[in-house]
Amino acid sequence: MRRITVRCDAMRGVQVRPAQDVELLLRDDTGRRVKRRYTIRHARPEAGELELDVLLHGAGPGAKWGASVQRGDTVEFQGPRGKLELRSAPAHLLVGDESAIPAIAAICAALPENEPALAIVEIQDADDRMAIAAETHWIERGATAPGGAQLLTAALHGIDLPAGSHGYLMGETRAMVALRTVLESRGVEHDAIFVKGYWNLGRPGRA
C-alpha cells in the first residue's frame, strides 16, 4: 500500500462516512480513460483533504498511478460515494482480502469502544499487514491463487460469533457472495451482512 493525500477545495466541509470511496479517472497504457475506486482512509474536511491507501499489486492503471504519482500532480475524481451506514451491534465481524484493508480499518476506527470488532483478512504475505483497530486474524495465502473463498471460509468456521453480530464482507465479488452464505449458516441475519465487491477475478478490478 501507498498512502496518498488528495486535496480539493470542493471537499472542504464535506463530511465523509466510514468506507466511502472516490472514483479516480485515470489513463491506461493506451491513453484510454479508465476508472478506479479507492476507499477514503481518512478525511480532513477543514482542509479539503482525503487520504487514500492504494494497493500496489499488479501492473494495472491504479497500481501504476499509486506507485508513480508525485506531490503537485493533478487527478480527477468523483465522489465520495458509498451506502454503508454503521448500526449498533453486540459485535462486528469484518472479512475481506487486501483490497478491503482500508475499508476494514476505517470501519473499525469508527466503531464505539464498547462494540468489539474482529477482522479476518486474507493477504499474500506478511508484507501486506497494516494497523487495524481490532483483533485481527491475518490469513496468508502464499501459493494459493487470490480471489477464492476457501481460506476465508475455513477461518470463519473456526471463530465464535456472538448473537446479533453484524458482518461486513469486502473483496473479490463472487468470493464475498459465497461467504455471505457461510455467515448466514453461522446464525448472522441476512440483513445484518454488508457485502461489497471491490474486484472481479478474471476482469480488471481496482489495480
CB-based contact 170:176 (threshold 8 Å): yes
Q: Are strands 166-172 and 92-97 parallel, antiparallel or unpaired?
A: parallel
DSSP 203: S
pLDDT tens digits along 129-179: 999 999 999 999 999 999 999 999 999 998 999 999 999 999 999 999 999
Domain range list for the chain: 2-81, 92-199
Asked if pLDDT for residue 206 goes beyond 70, the answer is no
What's the pTM value of the predicted model, to 2 decimals? 0.90
Give the number of other CB atoms < 10 A from CB of residue 120: 22
- From the candidate CATH numbers 3.40.50.80, 3.40.50.10320, 3.40.50.720, 3.40.30.10, the one assigned to the domain spanning 92-199: 3.40.50.80
- 207 pLDDT above the threshold of 70: no
Cα–Cα distance measured from residue 23 to residue 154, given in angstroms and rounded to the nearest whole number: 33
| 2-81 shares its CATH topology with 92-199 | no
Return the CATH fold of 2-81. Answer: Elongation Factor Tu (Ef-tu); domain 3 (2.40.30)
Compute the C-alpha angle 91/97/102, nearest 5°: 70
Task: Give the pLDDT confidence of 179-189 residue by residue, as tens digits.
Answer: 999 999 999 99
CA 191 to chain centre: 20
Query: Which pLDDT score, from 0 to 100, does residue 60 have?
Result: 87
